[in-house]
Amino acid sequence: MTKLITSLIRRLSDGLNHVIILLERKQSSPSQRSKFVDLAPTDEADKQGIYAEAIEFAMNSPKVFNIAITGPYGSGKSSIIQSFLKRYKRDALQISLATFISEAEIEGGNASRQEIERSILQQMLYGADANKLPLSRFKRIQSPGITSLFKSLFITLGMLSISYVLNFQKDIVNGDYFTPFALENWLSLSVFSFAIVFLWGVLHSLYVASFGLSLKGISLKNVELKPANDDETSILNKHLDEIIYFFQRTNYNLVIIEDLDRFNNAEIFVTLREINNLVNANSGVKQHIRFLYALRDDIFVNTERTKFFEFIIPVIPIINTSNSIDMVLAQGQRLSLDDGLDRQFVREVSRYLNDLRLIQNIFNEYKIYVANLETEGENLLDTNKLLAVLIYKNVYPKDFEQLHRGLGTLAKILDLRDKLVEEGEREHRNAIIKLEKILEAGERQVPVDLKELRNIYAMAFLEKLPSNAYSISISQNNAQFVEIFNLASSDKFEQIIESKVIYYKLTQNHYLQSMNLDNLQNEVNSLKSYQQRKKEIEAKAAEKKNKILSRIRDFRPKIASIRTAKLNELLRVSLENEPNLFDGFGENGELARFLILEGYLDDTYYQYTSLFHSGRMSPNDNKFLIQIRAFITPEPDFPIDNPHEVIAAMRNEDFEQSYVLNVAIVDSLLSDSIRYQSQIQKLLEYIMTGFESCEGFLGAYYSSGNYVKQLLTELSTNWNSLIPEILSSPYSKDHVMKLISNVSIATLRSHARDFEELPAFVQKNLSEILLNLPELEPERITCLDFEVKDLSAIHQHSSIVNTLFEEGLFSMTIENIEFIFEVILVVDTLEPLHKSNYTVIRATGNKVLNHKIEHNFSDYLNNVLLLLKTNTEEDSSAIQSVLNHDDLELRVLKTFIDQQMTKLQNLDKIPERMHPPLFESNKIQPSWKNCLSFMESPSFSEDALTRFLDIDDVRTVILKEDIPRDEESKSLRSFILRANSLTNASYSDYIQALPSIYKAFPSGLESEKIRILIDKKKVEFSEHNFDSISEERDLQIHFIASYINEYLTENDEFLLSDDYLESLLETEIPLTAKLKVIEQMDLSYLSGNRPLSELIANIIVASDSNLKNIDEDTARDLIISSSPIETQISILNKYHTLLSDDEVRHILTKLPDPYCDIKTGYSSPRLINNQQNQELVRWLESRNIISTWKKDPIFDNKIKVNLLRR
């Protein structure tokens, strides 16, 4: 009775609980009910009833017994079946093989046929009520019901009845027990009757139970007997009677078999079809039994499927890779994750998820994980990464379980981080080394290219020089000459090439010669000058250098950032070296590949797979402490997740060793300098004592540290040797860049003042520094107080350039001034600047630039004005300003004025020391006033004035002005008269311009100058002057010849010998004068003096006159001794009257052919028909020396002479 009451109370309690759950579901909000989704098949999959209609058609068709619902995994076959069963009013038996076969066996395909068939048989037989299968050999535990109370009472009463009857055995045998057989004996008769009925019931039960017994074997001690068919392969065939009995005793007319296709065993389908045929053929089975299979489309090949199944229903998948995103988004909306999830990530990852139950389970787990991982009600985790971890957990559950033990494919991939970091650092360092080698080679190549360019122009220049030239110069100053074989390497090369005129010396006579070079550069290259080509070489080299430096700059932070790089970034770079990295994930490896390479699944997974406890350490933190306790120094970039916890766990002495050199730890120390004061001091001491060994850490900290400024400030404050150390470091540029960008300006100014090497280093590497620090404040450069050599190299940093200009912190170079004009002053053209640099700068009125120049004028003059070879057109005021800089060397100023084309108008306000150079260089306006001013100057130089007056242009201009006649100009006139150093041409012009004639020759004057004075008749004609030049007979002759008229008038005062007179005849005096001189001569000496005879004869012929002092002998001598023949005939014609016939014949014999043939005889000489010969033959004929003459009848230009016979 107690058991009965307990059972009733339990059933009542279960019912009440069910009611409470239903009420709670109705009262809960939709949002609460939607937190989770069950994974069971839904019965709402066939809302339109299309699939149900097809199944019902098959169920109602008498010829259909095997029905197939086909579709891929996850297509909704189970849901369609559930939807059908919801409206199906009859009994259906559902068999699902996945329920009873382990996952490992399914995946490995190792489940045997017997195991599969046993599972089918078990689900079939054990699914029905045991009471409906009393004869089944498969016994099951039966739970006693209410009828069991009556059964137990019946058995008790039966046992009591039998016990009671057995006590009356003898009476029953002899019959006394049944007497009296009346109502009063009802008890005995009732007991006996009940005992008989009970005994019959027991025997009936034993009889019925014997139908469920089977003999498996008889086992004796050493003998075992078994049926022959005990080991048959098919369990279904073996228990076919059980199956038929099952359908005889049950009302099932539909058997649904799911997941059978997972075993890829077609024989089972054959067996089931046979069983279906046998069951439907059995007469004891009253209903039609139909098997409904849910399976894949590819379980049968080709047409075998249509032969096996009488009706096939295809299922259109409700989810695939193309629409899985909608399912994922729907789950996200259900959990209100739209804002947290990255839609792009959801869109991409959904392509790998095509199972709705898998998606639903992922989001169920997501809700549970989020609820547990939230810290103090705040979820700081990345929802995308959490979703990725849960996708990984559901798709790769075995690998996920192994991950917690550091095993599995993902764990191996995560362990590759150190290897990838090492390889990446090595690759970047090798790239930097290679680029540095290229940079070094490029720097060596620039001088080579410039040398080749110099050689080209030097060879073109040498081709113009004479072969015996050995030295050259741009001026006549011997101290500045350059040997020809040293031209290309000479520091004067560019000055020589840019000069318009150069001077050279010859090996034989060492005379100074000049040569014009105006067209030299055009001959080498008509499009570009030497300077342009030089700048192109340097610009290309600078451009290439900047590109390489830019690439090096890009690589260096990459080295430091590799350790802090995300795992997926490292894997992408080295993926080619690890082609089989994801093979361990199997067929679904593409999903893992996507999650890992996109960075959703990385070494932060532990944050999403374990609960957070305050004060805990991450695996990285523990790994760091394990390494330092093993005396291993981790890399500076070793990731530490909870640095304060790690610092607390470190020993005091650890901060005095390399273990403290970790970016995260140093950041934590410097972030709380009061709390960690002692640790910071130990860190600084360690760096100061072993700076070289700390450079690797410093490089890493520069790249990823958050307190670089504080660290460098502390080092600057506590360490006096910081600057020498960083400048001597191989990584000096990195140190300096971090120093000038982080420490205070006051500290920088102090360092620059104490260590001159620092500004010099920054100056040298400014372009590279600014390339790496584009946002650097200008004041951090200007406080170092150095001059920038090349502003154009940092042109992209406009604010710094402008500040440097305003502060005047730039070197005086041509390039810098051009840059200032072009970029800062925004001048359209630089051509005026190239021609008159100082003039243009003065005209700008820019105070900064003019102040800079005036305070650094020596640098400006040497590095700009003198090097700018086209700067030749400075105006007078600019030149005057330059010359008034007394601190400049005279040599430099001379070079400057030599370069200028402008001439000063006068010497006013010009320093006295510059007077000679101005005249030497012809940079003063040619005027007699300026010459007089110079002669009155204390610095007067005769040589300078002489060279000035000797210049052609000067002479041309100054001679347009008359030489002053006043007394003040007497010294000038005297200087000109005595200017022995002037060239003859110049002296002649200036002497010609002298306004007066001098009484005597100046003493010490050279012969050529005396000759010029004689030519210009600037001295009086006197015997004294004649005698003063007695040592030079030629000059005396020239003196007489120049004053021939005066001489002929006053010849009595001059007693000249015939030699002087003969020499006088050879001069260029007029013929009339020569005739008068001849008349003064004694012509009796002509015999034997052929030259004199010839000279006088030519004079007589030329003047066509007759001399009074010619006699017969003189005439004969003149005719015979003169030449040519024309002169001889002319003299003969002129003086034949002085000669006898015999003398004439004698003279004719002395003449050349054909004149010598004119004599007696039979020949007929022929003379040229001219006036002289016609006159000759006339008087010969008249004097009867020839017979006759006439023009030659054959030759018109001949005269035929007929001789006398005897």
1149-1165 pLDDT, tens digit per residue, is 888 888 887 887 778 88
pLDDT of residue 1051: 64
pLDDT of residue 511: 64
Judge whether residue 111 has pLDDT over 80. Answer: no
Confidence of residue 109 (pLDDT cuts 50, 70, 90): very low
pLDDT of residue 122: 75
- Do 436 and 508 belong to one domain? yes
Q: Which amino acid is at 575?
A: L
pLDDT of residue 89: 79
Place of tokens 């009732």: 190
Q: How many CA atoms lie within 13 A of 1188 on its CB side?
A: 3
Residue 164 lies in a domain: yes
Residue 1067 lies in a domain: no
- Do 994 and 942 belong to one domain? yes
- Do 270 and 340 belong to one domain? no
- Do 261 and 204 belong to one domain? no
Share of the chain above pLDDT 70, in %: 84
- Do 358 and 466 belong to one domain? no
| Mean of pLDDT values over 146-173 | 78
pLDDT of residue 758: 92
948 is written with which tokens? 């000035």
Rounded Cα distance between 530 and 528, Å, is 7
495-515 pLDDT, tens digit per residue, is 777 777 777 777 766 667 777
Judge whether residue 1124 has pLDDT over 70. Answer: yes
For residues 772 and 144, the model is more confident at 772
Confidence of residue 11 (pLDDT cuts 50, 70, 90): low
pLDDT of residue 278: 84
49's CB contacts (< 8 A; 6+ apart) are 87
712-747 pLDDT, tens digit per residue, is 999 998 898 899 999 999 888 889 999 999 999 999
| Mean of pLDDT values over 834-840 | 91
For residues 1131 and 669, the model is more confident at 669
pLDDT of residue 218: 45
| Mean of pLDDT values over 313-333 | 69
542 is written with which tokens? 């600078």
Judge whether residue 666 has pLDDT over 90. Answer: yes
Taking Cα atoms as reference points, which of 519, 478, 364, 300 lies closest to residue 36? 364
- Do 836 and 721 belong to one domain? yes
Residue 452 lies in a domain: yes
Confidence of residue 321 (pLDDT cuts 50, 70, 90): low
Judge whether residue 822 has pLDDT over 80. Answer: yes
| Mean of pLDDT values over 546-551 | 76
Q: Which of 1104, 1122, 1145 is the last residue of a domain?
A: 1145
Taking Cα atoms as reference points, which of 571, 476, 490, 587 lies closest to residue 917? 476
pLDDT of residue 223: 44
| Mean of pLDDT values over 172-178 | 75
pLDDT of residue 744: 92
pLDDT of residue 1174: 82
For residues 1138 and 108, the model is more confident at 1138
Q: Which of 1145, 1167, 1186 is the last residue of a domain?
A: 1145
Judge whether residue 850 has pLDDT over 70. Answer: yes
Most confident of 272-276, 281-285, 889-893, 1068-1072: 889-893
Q: What is the total count of domains within the chain?
A: 9
Q: Which of 1145, 1171, 1187 is the last residue of a domain?
A: 1145
- Do 297 and 345 belong to one domain? no
Residue 623 lies in a domain: no
For residue 704, the SS3 value is helix
Q: Which of 477-481, 918-922, 1093-1097 has the lowest mean pLDDT?
A: 477-481
Long-range contacts of 965-972 (CB under 8 A, 24+ apart): 965/995, 965/996, 968/932, 969/928, 969/932, 971/932, 971/935, 972/928, 972/931, 972/932, 972/935
Confidence of residue 108 (pLDDT cuts 50, 70, 90): very low
Taking Cα atoms as reference points, which of 527, 530, 522, 524 lies closest to residue 459? 524
Q: Which of 594-603, 819-828, 1087-1096 has the lowest mean pLDDT?
A: 1087-1096
pLDDT, mean over the chain:
79
pLDDT of residue 775: 87
- Do 1158 and 1141 belong to one domain? no
Confidence of residue 101 (pLDDT cuts 50, 70, 90): very low
Give the domain CATH number at 104: 3.40.50.300
List C-alpha distances in Å: 436 to 433, 695, 760: 5, 19, 22
- Do 863 and 802 belong to one domain? yes
- Do 207 and 155 belong to one domain? yes
218 is written with which tokens? 């008889």
| Residues forming beta bridges with residue 67, ordered by sequence position | 292, 311
Residue 349 lies in a domain: yes
Judge whether residue 132 has pLDDT over 80. Answer: no
- Do 745 and 804 belong to one domain? yes
pLDDT of residue 1095: 74
Judge whether residue 783 has pLDDT over 90. Answer: yes
Rounded Cα distance between 1086 and 1083, Å, is 6
Between CA 657 and CA 668, with CA 663 as vertex, the angle to 5 degrees is: 90
Q: Which of 229-233, 597-601, 906-910 has the lowest mean pLDDT?
A: 229-233
Judge whether residue 373 has pLDDT over 50. Answer: yes
Residue 893 lies in a domain: no
Confidence of residue 219 (pLDDT cuts 50, 70, 90): very low
pLDDT of residue 1106: 72
Judge whether residue 552 has pLDDT over 90. Answer: no
pLDDT of residue 877: 92
Largest CA distance in the chain: 241
| Mean of pLDDT values over 801-811 | 91
Residue 672 lies in a domain: yes
Share of the chain above pLDDT 90, in %: 12
Residue 296 lies in a domain: yes
Place of tokens 């404050």: 717
Place of tokens 């000063």: 904
996's CB contacts (< 8 A; 6+ apart) are 965, 973, 1018
Buried b (16+ CB within 10 A) or exposed e, 626-655: eebeeeeebbbbbbbbbbbbbbebbeeebb
For residues 608 and 967, the model is more confident at 967
The residue range of the domain holding 920 is 903-1002
pLDDT of residue 614: 45
Confidence of residue 1205 (pLDDT cuts 50, 70, 90): confident
| Mean of pLDDT values over 751-761 | 91
- Do 101 and 14 belong to one domain? no
Judge whether residue 103 has pLDDT over 50. Answer: no
Where does residue 1205 rank: exposed (0-12), middle (13-18), buried (19+ CB within 10 A)? Answer: exposed
Judge whether residue 1046 has pLDDT over 80. Answer: no
For residue 587, the SS3 value is helix
